[in-house]
Structure 1
């Protein structure tokens, strides 16, 4: 038999190099580049223009109009005739020289501080409770929070009126059954501290659901491994929350606090329906003071000036809070 050499595998032929595709012709003509598909141009701005214009009209126009009225002598006669006289900063000077105004300012900040602290603390506790419940309990608590949050302000305020009614209120009935005979036919809203406390309870009850749901949604984004590692290192529940959970949720807490500051400053409906600022001035805060000044004495200029000062103070509180928060973030 003839001897043959070892077989070798045939060398594969090189793959053909695909030819480069010619660039597609420009859609806008020879002198233009390819058409951009990122949505740039005037069309998106035209779509949002009605919303921006409506928001600017509803927000900026009342603010500017209020600034103008606060620098005029604007009473009932000027409201009808329209010939208001420019007085500069006289209305602000009148308010700042009024001792009652500064009492209202102090009461406003006290009302805001008490409400915001209670809302944030209770909402945090409720959010932590929800995160530890099972599916059924979590669903029940969240449903109750949403229902309480969705109740109209007037309806909730009316419920509190009946709860603390002097003759038919459930609170007086329950306290007298427990042996506190001094609360029989007790008029809660005729006592200044009691009326103030009732309003705090009402505002906190209405505000905790939103804050609790928001904080619970943020808690679900915190990895469990971090808390478990902190607990393995010997940290208590409070230490784990302070060292792990709170730093990660600091922006959410900042948002909740800012919103609660704004809503507490705007707690006009509850106060006006329950006490109208009384008894005396025990529950009068700046929004109520502005309405009382405008309606009782028909001094719309002083009432508008008080409203401008309210907005300025609220903005100042938020600016100071943001600066302090950003300073802490920068130091970390």
Structure 2
């Protein structure tokens, strides 16, 4: 309570020191311009925008030098006639589409194409089926046995191609081969110095065993890694519904690992379709060219017959066929991404 000089009494609260009576407690608004000034972009900001391009430049340049340039040169070579004469004179002769016309009219070329397609399908099916089963086995094994099996798979995967071909040639050797000895020991007749490389079919069967043996580890280990991402509650729910092993695989495992199966199949088709060292080192495409696939056919045409322009045309057609085959998987991948 405050007593004024006139004697009146006021019940208003006493103002705080330094504050005038009746003054508002709200702070005054800030004075001056309200605009936020953005500093101008200088050299540092321009360089920051170039950093991503500078980082990927070495990879782009390497791909252009190692992949794009040879591909362009190979396409140009496919329109030329480069035989022994042209190798000496170093003056290739332009023949247009003659190399492609000769190939498309050659029944031997289409025989090799059909053989390559059947060979690829058989290998990819075996690789995916056996590799997936081993991946499921890895997921069910204990820690010690899983480690042993994983090490065995890694050793098979890490073995060089030429070394593995040498081992398989010894296993199926005509005189000292393990395969002939095992079959004779089991009581089978006709395997005294049996020649497993006598026909193109038997040669490709052995090559198939080699490629499947070397490719299974990639599928199996990736399959096991994918299975570890599936929650145990899904398996328990399938078990409560009375699903057996196959039903659980198709209802639980396959839907969750569908991207894995698509990408892995995509990679295996490319790997098998372009396989060269295994086929050539096993029997050089023989006997009588009966085990040639498209890469081996192109190599023998170029290096054996000195028809480099025709060999280039074979390789270009091989790339076109591979792109046509894989376009189906590209569409599936794009469709799946749209659904997600």
- TM-score, normalized by length of structure 1? 0.87
Q: Which residue of 2 aligns with 1:89?
A: 97
CA distance, structure 2, for counterparts of residue 95 and residue 226 of structure 1: 54
In 2, Cα distance between the equivalents of 1:301 and 1:66?
9
Structure index of larger Rg: 2
The residue that corresponds to 1:315 in the other structure is 323
Match of 1:44 in 2: 52
* Deviation (angstroms), 1:175: 1.1
Contact 1:161 1:274 in 2 (8 A): yes
Q: 2-side partners of 1:222 and 1:169: how far apart? A: 44
The RMSD of aligned alpha carbons is: 2.6
Task: For residue 326 of structure 1, report the CA deviation from its aligned partner.
Answer: 4.8
Deviation at 1:74, TM superposition (A): 1.4
Match of 1:104 among 107, 112, 119: 112
Q: Unaligned stretches of 5+ in structure 2?
A: 1-26, 31-35
Gapped regions of structure 1 (runs ≥ 5): 1-16
TM-score (norm 2): 0.85
Q: Which of 201, 204, 213 lines up with 1:193 in the alignment?
A: 201
Q: How many residues align?
A: 309
Q: Does 1:306 align with 2:305?
A: no
Deviation of 1:190 (Å)? 1.3
Aligned to 1:204: 212
Q: Given the superposition, is the C-alpha separation of residues 47 and 180 from structure 1 closer, same or farther in structure 2, using an over 3 Å criterion?
A: same
Q: How far 1:315 sits from its partner (Å)?
A: 1.2
> Residue 44 of structure 1: CA displacement?
2.9
Aligned to 1:246: 254
Deviations along 1:303-331, one digit per CA (max 9) or x if unpaired, are 11001111111111111233245557878
1:157-204 deviation per Cα after TM superposition (whole angstroms, max 9, x unaligned): 000010000111111111111111311100101123221211110110
1:40 to 1:229, Cα distance in 2 relative to 1, 3 A: farther
Match of 2:62 in 1: 54
Matched, 1:221 2:229: yes
The whole-number CA distance in structure 2 between the counterparts of 1:52 and 1:192 is 42
Match of 1:113? 121
Q: Once the two structures are superposed, what CA deviation does each residue of 1:261-307 show, in whole Å capped at 9, x if it has no partner?
A: 01101211011111111112321110011111112221001111001
Give the Å deviation of 1:47.
2.8
Q: Does 2:193 correspond to 1:174?
A: no
User: Which residue, 135, 140, 143 being the options, matches 1:135?
Assistant: 143
> Following the alignment from structure 1 to structure 2, what is the Cα–Cα distance between the partners of residues 156 and 279?
21
Q: Which residue of 2 aligns with 1:69?
A: 77
